[in-house]
Amino acid sequence: MHLRNGVNVPDSVLINIEDLRVGMYVRLEIGWMNHPFPTSSFRIASLDQIQILRDLGLREVRYVPSRSVVAGDETGQVAAAPASPGGAVQADEVYAEPPDEPAVRPGAAVSAPWDGAARKADSTLQSRSHARFQEAAALYADVVAGVQATPTALRERVQEWVRTGVAELMETENYAVHLLAQVAGQRQAKHSVNVMVLAMLLGRSLNLGAASLRLLGAAGLLHDIGKIELPAHIAAPGAALSLGDRRLYEEHVQRSMVIAQRMGFDADLVQAVGEHHEMVDGSGFPKGSSGAQISRHGQILALVNRYDRLCNPLHGEASHTPHEALARLFSQERKRFDPTTVLAAFIRMMGVYPPGSIVQLGDGRFARVVASNAQSPLRPCVLPFVAGVSPSEAQELDLGPGTAGGIRRSVKCDALPDEVLEFFQPEQQMCYFFERMPRQPASESAAR
C-alpha cells in the first residue's frame, strides 16, 4: 500500500477484464511471447488494445493505480480517462513504459562484460556485416545500371546472393539485428538493402521456410526498382509531392512489377513486389487491397518498408528514431498491418529498443543501441557517449542477462545536449544487417 492524494492505494489489484479503461496501467501475468504487446507492463492507450486483451481470453488483469491516468475512487471502480492534449496518450508512454526491473542506483557503473577477445571478435563480425551489406548495395547498383540490357543474368546474381544469405540465416539458431554506421553508397540502394534484410529476418521470425525467405530477399531488394524510370525528384522526393506527381510516384509499384517479370522472377515474387504499399485496412496503393487479399510476403514487405521510411524518410516527413518508429507503428498505425502476427513478430524481433534508438542508461549516461537480440529484448548492446572520445574509439556495452545496469528510458533526439547529438549523428541513414549470436545457456533463457 502507498498514499496517493491522501488515500491508501494498493500497489496493484486484479480487476475484471470488462472493467478495463483507457489510461490504466496493467501488468500481464502471462509469458511475453503469449501476447502481441512489446512489454508485459504498459499503459492502455486505446479501445483497440482493450479488445486485444479480451481476445486473449483473460478473465482478470492486474491493474496498477499509481501508474495509471484514469479518474476514479482508487478502488477499481474507475471512470473513463480524461482526454490528454491532442486526444491521445503519448506513444512513448504506451509503447515502452520502463520495464519492471530492479532499479539502478544513480551514479552506479554499468559494467562491460565482454573481455578483449570477445570485443575483437565482435569487431570482426561488424566488419563482415558491413562488407555483406555493401555487396548487396553494389548488386542493387548493378541491377539499376544493367537491368534493361541483361535482365536474366542479373536475376541469377540476385538469386545467388539471396540464396547465400538465407542459408546463413537458416543455419543460425540465434542472431542479433545490428546497426551499421558510416555505410557508403546511394540512399535508394541502402533503403532497398534494408528492406531486403529486415524482410528476411521477419520471415524467419514467422517461421517461414527457406523458399519464402529467398522470395522475400529478392522482392525486398527489387521492390522499388521501378523508380529508375521516374524523374529523380519524384523517385526520391525531398518534399511533399503535388497531386499529379504523387500519382506518378505511385506508378513505381507497377513499374517494379514489370521489371521483375522481365528479369524472369515467378508470379509470387512479382505479386509481393506489387503489394509493398498495400495495407490490411485497405488504405494502401495501388489497388487498395485489404486483409487476406494481401499475401503474407506482401504484408511483410509493406511493414518493413514503412518502418525504414519512418527512420529514413522521403517526402519531407520528419525522421523518427527506431524506438519512435516502432512506437508509432504500434500505437498509431497498427490497423494498417496484421497486429497479432506480423507486427507483433517484428516488434519482438527488433526489441523494445531497436538498433539506432537513443537511450539513457540506469547510471544516467546516454547511449545508442547498436544491436538487439530477440532473446533479450530489454537488454541490447549499446554504445555509450563519452566526452572527448569519437564513436569509432568508444567501447560498446553488452547489457545482456546477468550484467549490471540497464536502460532507464528512450530519449528523443531534440532532448539531447549538442555534444551528445553530434556524437550519435542521428541524421545519418540507418542501415541493418544480422550477426550470428552464441546460443545462450538454458538457465539464462529461463531467468527471463
Among 104-113, 268-277, 339-348, the range with the most confident prediction by mean pLDDT is 268-277
Whose cell is 517494379? That residue is: 256
Report d(CA 239, CA 314) in Å as an integer: 7
Mean pLDDT of 64-90: 50
Residue 127 class from Cβ within 10 Å (0-12 exposed, 13-18 middle, 19+ buried)? exposed
Residue 337 has pLDDT above 50, yes or no: yes
- N- to C-terminal Cα distance for the chain? 27
DSSP state of 377: T
pLDDT value for 55? 79
Question: Superfamily for 107-448?
Answer: Hypothetical protein af1432 (1.10.3210.10)
Q: What sections of 223-334 are H helices per DSSP?
A: 232-235, 243-250, 252-263, 267-274, 296-311, 322-331
Decide if pLDDT at 321 tops 60: yes
pLDDT top residue among 106 and 139: 139
What does the pLDDT read at residue 423? 93
Percent of the chain past pLDDT 70, that is, above it, reads 81
Distance CA 28, CA 152 (A): 52
The overall average pLDDT reported for the chain is: 82
Q: What angle do CA 25, 27, 33 make, to 5 degrees?
A: 130
Per-residue confidence band for 85, with pLDDT thresholds at 50, 70 and 90? very low
The one-letter code for the residue type at 2 is: H
Task: Count the Cβ atoms, other than its own, within 10 Å of residue 239.
Answer: 10
User: In the chain, what are the domain boundaries?
Assistant: 2-89, 107-448
Count the Cβ atoms, other than its own, within 10 Å of residue 168.
13
| CA distance readout (Å), 149 to 140, 145, 154, 228 | 15, 9, 10, 14
**278, 285 in Cβ contact below 8 A?**
yes
Q: Are 263 and 257 in contact (CB under 8 A)?
A: no
Q: For the ranges 50-59, 139-148, 230-239, 326-335, which has the lowest average pLDDT?
A: 50-59
pLDDT above 90 for 100: no
* H/E segment holding residue 193: helix 187-205
**pLDDT exceeds cutoff 90 at 76:** no
Q: CA angle, corner 209, sides to 203 and 213, nearest 5?
A: 45
Q: Which residue did the predictor score with more confidence, 101 or 243?
A: 243
Of 440, 384, 354, the C-alpha closest to 96 is 354
Nearest to 403 by CA among 102, 124, 161: 102
Spatial contact of 225 and 144, defined as CB atoms under 8 Å apart: yes
**Residue 154 to residue 52: CA distance in whole angstroms:** 45
Q: Please give the model's pTM, rounded to 2 decimal places.
A: 0.77
pLDDT tens figures, 339-360: 889 999 998 888 888 999 999 9
Contact 375, 445 (CB under 8 A): yes
Indicate the pairing of strand 175-180 with strand 397-398: unpaired
Whether the pLDDT of residue 96 is over 60: the answer is no
Q: What is the pLDDT of residue 22?
A: 92
Q: How far is it, in rounded angstroms, from Cα 4 to Cα 66?
A: 7
| Strand residue runs (E) in 82-133 | none
Res 125: pLDDT: 56
Split at pLDDT 50, 70, 90, the class of 206 is: very high
**Percent of residues, the chain, with pLDDT higher than 90:** 54
- Grid cell 536474366 is found at 152
Q: What is the pLDDT of residue 115?
A: 35
Residue 90 has pLDDT above 50, yes or no: no
Q: What are the pLDDT digits (tens) for 382-423?
A: 999 999 998 888 999 999 877 777 898 888 888 899 999 999
Res 114: pLDDT: 34
> Which cell numbers hold the place of 322?
527506431
Residue 323 confidence class, pLDDT cut points 50, 70, 90: confident
Instruction: Classify 57 as helix, strand or coil.
Output: coil
Place of cell 528479369: 263
pLDDT for the residue numbered 443: 42
Tell me which residue of 217, 219, 191 sits closest to 204, measured CA to CA: 217
**DSSP character for 18?**
G
- Look at residue 137 in the predicted model and tell me its pLDDT: 96
